[in-house]
Amino acid sequence: MKRLSKNILLLFVSEAGSRLIGFFTTIYLARNLSVDGFGIVNIGLTVFAYALLFGSQWLNIYGTRQIAAGEKINFIGRFVSLRFVVSFIVFILTIILTYLFIEDTIIVFVIVLFVFSIFPNIFFLDWYFQGKENLFPVSVGRLLISAVYLFSLLLFFSRSHNLTWVPASFLIGNTIGVAFVLYWFRKEGNTLVPSFSLKNSYSLFKKSLHLSSASVISQVNVNLPIIIIGLVLSATEAGIFSAASKLVFFFLLLDRFFYSLYFPAVTRVFQESSERLSEVVSFVLRIALIVIIPVTVGCILLSEPIIRLIFGNDYQDASLVFQILIGYFTATILNSIYGYGLVAIKQEKLYSKIIALSLIVYLFSTLIFTYLFGVIGTAAGVVVSEFVVLVCFRFAFGKFVQVNFFRYILKVFPALLVMIIVIYFTSHNLLLSIPAAALTYLMITVAAGGISKSDLQTLKEKIL
Q: Is the pLDDT of residue 461 over 60?
A: no
138 and 14 Cβ atoms separated by less than 8 Å: yes
Per-residue pLDDT at 60: 80
User: 435: part of which helix (H) or strand (E)?
Assistant: helix 430-447
Average pLDDT, integer, range 112-129: 92
pLDDT band at 287 (very low <50, low <70, confident <90, very high): confident
Q: Is the pLDDT of residue 261 over 80?
A: no
Q: Is the pLDDT of residue 420 over 80?
A: yes
Q: Please give the model's pTM, rounded to 2 decimal places.
A: 0.81
Angle, CA of 50, 224 and 305, to the nearest 5°: 115
Q: Is the pLDDT of residue 254 over 60?
A: yes
Q: Is the pLDDT of residue 175 over 70?
A: yes
pLDDT band at 125 (very low <50, low <70, confident <90, very high): confident
Amino acid identity, residue 38? F
**Which of 443, 459, 451 lies closest to 411 in space, CA to CA?**
451
pLDDT band at 454 (very low <50, low <70, confident <90, very high): low
pLDDT band at 46 (very low <50, low <70, confident <90, very high): very high
pLDDT band at 463 (very low <50, low <70, confident <90, very high): very low
Q: What is the DSSP annotation of 66-112?
A: HHHTT--THHHHHHHHHHHHHHHHHHHHHHHHHHHH---HHHHHHHH
Average pLDDT, integer, range 84-99: 94
Task: List C-alpha distances in Å: 73 to 183, 226, 293.
Answer: 17, 40, 47
Per-residue pLDDT at 196: 67
Per-residue pLDDT at 260: 58
239 and 39 Cβ atoms separated by less than 8 Å: yes
Average pLDDT, integer, range 336-357: 81
Residue 158 to residue 313: CA distance in whole angstroms: 21
Residue 317 to residue 319: CA distance in whole angstroms: 5
Q: Is the pLDDT of residue 279 over 50?
A: yes
Residue 118 to residue 417: CA distance in whole angstroms: 48
128 and 63 Cβ atoms separated by less than 8 Å: yes
Which range, of 11-15, 125-129, 173-177, averages the lowest pLDDT?
11-15
Query: Average per-residue pLDDT in the chain?
Result: 84
Dump pLDDT digits (tens) for 362-407. 889 999 999 999 999 999 999 999 999 999 998 998 888 777 766 6
Q: Is the pLDDT of residue 245 over 70?
A: yes
Dump pLDDT digits (tens) for 189-242. 777 776 666 767 777 777 777 666 666 776 777 788 998 998 888 889 999 999
Per-residue pLDDT at 264: 59
Q: Is the pLDDT of residue 278 over 80?
A: no
Average pLDDT, integer, range 139-148: 93
Average pLDDT, integer, range 137-161: 91
Per-residue pLDDT at 423: 93
Q: Is the pLDDT of residue 1 over 50?
A: no
25 and 153 Cβ atoms separated by less than 8 Å: yes
